[in-house]
Amino acid sequence: MQTFQYSKADTVEKALAGAATGRFIAGGTTLVDLMKLDVEQPKELVDINPLPLATIEKLQDGGLRVGAMVCNSDLAWNADVKSFYPVLSQALLSGASPQLRNMATTGGNLMQRTRCVYFREPTAGTPGGYGCNKRAPGTGCAAMDGYNRMHAILGVSDQCIATHPSDMCVAMAALEAVIHVEGPKGKRTIAFADFHKLPGDTPHIENALEPGELITHVDLPKLPEGARSAYLKLRDRASYEFALASAAVIAKVEGGQIRFIRVAMGGVGTKPWRSHEAEAALDGKEANDANCRAAAAAALAGAKTLPGNAFKVELARRCVVRALKIVTA
Amino acid sequence: MPDSPIARWRQLRAQSVLLPTSEELALDQQAVDLEPLTPEPLEAAGGRFSRRSFLSGLGATSLMASAAPLVVAAAPALASTVASESDDAASGASVTLRVNGKEHTLRGIDPRATLLDTLRERIHLTGTKKGCDHGQCGACTVHVNGRRVNSCLSFAVMHEGDEITTIEGIGQPDNLHAMQAAFVEHDGYQCGYCTSGQIMSAVALLQEPIGSTDDDVMQAMSGNICRCGAYGNILVAVKQVRARA
């Protein structure tokens, strides 16, 4: 591990001052791991654990404001989250392990980096190492003709097929969460759909944060009365494993017809994957088997597969269908 | 290879702390030692080797035998071990960790030192184990402010003021925690390497809002891997303590 200068920030102002040259560290579950692998080599770390951003508050309009430093287990077990956003609680509890959830924060989870085995290789993107356009643009992608069973089938480019690993983010994509940031130019908000970037020709740019910006909190909009939600995650083991395919679904059924529908997928996309196609196929329709299958097919219509991950198309379809049936039953 | 013995040997300590980061460190400045694996003098240990000092010495010997160039880097590091605390005092960088109710002021701590390595190598609480060193196995589980965490994924300097509890603070040989006693009673281990992490998780889950079924317990224990496969007995031990709590 490369050495670094370390400082602590107990106010947002101090954190922003330190961010001019440094990187933020919160739970550390991604950053420390990647520093040990030499994937991340920050020269300066600003410890933001003392920031007063670990609270969950109700908003006037009925939504919820989640501080960036709220840890994953606190968010998952929060009474309001369990009552009003079960999809988020379930997604969080399906991710990582209890120890990691006690460390990992809301802001940090938004910044979680891919588990692509080539990306995580210490020498990837260097001469003699595996090609990785995310590590070093222009060095190629070893996953394309390598081991790509875990890789993405939606939102891929010819530069990168790395899967976005987060479960929390899939639920937040379905919830249309709003990310609040503060930086050298002041405060601003970022719609969840705009936060994570598709790889395109710039897979090393993963999100919309400007240099020096700090995530301060995430707002969860109020869902319609009577909406139900669920997160279904399919993986190689029953616990402590990343998704092969997952689905976050929110639906409200009235008089046999779907009046409100949100569908997002994990484990299959290069970013948390909201499927407007699936939603369009269900809105105003009857919540029956045929319509659920048609929606799932629409969600995967744009999939681009490689030999190792072609199975994910059918797996993700069935995952979406099952999740839709759970919330519309 | 970040996990090679060489990398571990070189991982810690102080010289770099006050150097400006803009300057590239010379190789011998980076190659700092894993401080106090203090060799116990034979006479001090009553003429006997402790298991730990014997294994440490064995490791150093075999490294020297197998990797000749390393001797150059390792030998000065070994020689400087005795003087390191006073050298470090001059550097001024320090952190005070509160572990099992006792404060430890550590001078000259390298910012790269994980909580795990610091507990083991500086405070000599070796009950906490290093498994994968990447947050995947749970062997390093300790409690920070009453919650279980992976001590390998956290830097020691981040824990000033935190209340840290290790397996040594949970119970002692003559005063076992109920969970430790239950693991003994039900054979919740084979080789024992993962056991302290398993017990730290099991003790923590008693305070967590999890359900009452076997599945709930297994989910809650899923962050601790047991390569021997003692899961069945671990489950029985945890259930027994939960039922009596």
For residues B106 and B14, the answer to whether their CB atoms sit within 8 Å is no
pLDDT given for residue B233 in this prediction: 98
Where in the sequence of chain A do the CATH 3.30.43 domains occur?
A: 5-47
Q: Are residues B187 and B236 in the same domain?
A: yes
Is residue B18 scored above 80 in pLDDT? no
Q: Are residues B127 and B147 in the same domain?
A: yes
Tens of pLDDT, residue by residue over B39-51, are 444 444 444 556 6
- For residue B48, the model assigns a pLDDT of 53
Asked if residue B155 and residue B44 are part of one domain, the reply reads yes
Q: What 3-state class would DSSP assign to B242?
A: helix
Choose the weakest-confidence range: A70-74, A132-136, A172-176, B49-53: B49-53
Chain B residues at the A interface, defined by Cβ less than 8 Å, are 1-2, 11, 16, 21, 25, 30, 110-112, 114, 133-135, 138, 141, 147-150, 153-155, 157-158, 201, 204-205, 208-209, 218-220, 222-224
Instruction: Please name the member of A29, A32, A37 whose beta carbon is closest to the beta carbon of B155.
Output: A32
Q: Is the pLDDT of residue A68 over 90?
A: yes
Backbone angles phi, psi at B48, to 5 degrees: -120, 150
To the nearest whole number, what is the mean pLDDT of chain B? 77
A180-207: burial string, b at 16+ Cβ within 10 Å, e else: bbbbeeeeeebebeebbbbbeeebeebb
Q: Starting at the edge strand that comes first in sequence, how are the strands of the sheet with A5-8 ordered?
A: A5-8, A44-47, A23-25
Are residues B146 and B29 part of one domain? yes
Which of A33, A38, A49 lies nearest to residue B153, judging by beta carbons?
A33
Rounded to whole angstroms, the Cα distance separating A53 from A67 reads 5
pLDDT value at B19 more than 80: no
**Residue of B17 and A290 predicted with greater confidence:** A290
Tell me if B2 and A32 make a contact (CB, 8 A cut-off).
no
Identify the CATH assignment for A228-328 out of 3.30.390.50, 1.20.140.10, 3.90.1170.50, 3.40.50.11690: 3.30.390.50
CATH architecture of A5-47: 2-Layer Sandwich (3.30)
Q: Give the pLDDT confidence score for residue B45 in this predicted structure.
A: 43
Using a CB cutoff of 8 Å and minimum separation of 24, what contacts does B53-60 make? Answer: B59/B5
Task: Return the ∠ at Cα B149 (arms to B148 and B153), rounded to 5°.
Answer: 170
| Percent of chain A as helix, strand, coil, to the nearest 5 | 30, 25, 50
In the numeric block, the tokens 């995580």 are attached to: A120
Contact B21 A25 (CB under 8 A): no
B97/B182 same-domain check = no
Q: What is the structure's pLDDT at B54?
A: 60
Which pLDDT tens digit goes with each residue over B43-87? 444 445 566 666 665 555 554 444 444 433 333 333 333 334 444
State the average pLDDT over residues B120-136.
98
| A243-266: average pLDDT | 97
pLDDT digits (tens, 9 = 90+) for A112-154: 999 999 999 999 999 999 999 999 999 999 999 999 999 999 9
Residue ranges of chain A that CATH labels 3.30.390.50? 228-328
CB A312 within 8 A of CB A268: yes
Q: Residue A20: which pLDDT band, with cuts at 50, 70 and 90?
A: confident
Nearest CA in chain A to B149: A99
Would you place residue B11 in the very low, low, confident or very high pLDDT band (cuts 50, 70, 90)? very low
Q: What is the mean pLDDT of chain A?
A: 97
Question: Which of B115, B148, B168 is where one domain is finished?
Answer: B168
Residue % of chain A over a pLDDT of 90: 99
**Shared-domain flag, residues B189 and B231:** yes
b (16+ CB within 10 A) / e for B21-46: beeeeeeeeebbbbbbbebbeeeeee
Average pLDDT over residues B144-170: 98
Question: Residue B237: its pLDDT value, please?
Answer: 98
Same domain assignment for residues B162 and B138: yes
From B149, B168, B187, the end of a domain falls on B168
Question: In Å, how far are A72, A261, A264, B135, B187 from A176, measured between CA atoms?
Answer: 18, 12, 10, 30, 49
Residue B41: domain span: 5-168
For residue A21, what pLDDT is reported?
83
Of the residues B168, B184, B204, the one at which a domain ends:
B168
Cβ atoms < 10 Å from Cβ of B160 = 14
* pLDDT band (50, 70, 90) for residue B113: very high
What's the number of domains chain B is made of?
A: 2
Question: How far away is chain A from the Cα of B172, in angstroms, using its nearest Cα?
Answer: 24
If asked whether residues B231 and B158 sit together in one domain, one would say no
Please give, rounded to a whole number of angstroms, the shortest distance from the CA of A93 to a CA of chain B: 9
Contacts of A99 in chain B (CB under 8 A): 135, 138, 141, 148-150, 201, 223
| Average pLDDT, integer, range A63-78 | 98
Please write the tens of the pLDDT for every residue from A196-252. 999 999 999 999 999 999 999 999 999 999 999 999 999 999 999 999 999 999 999
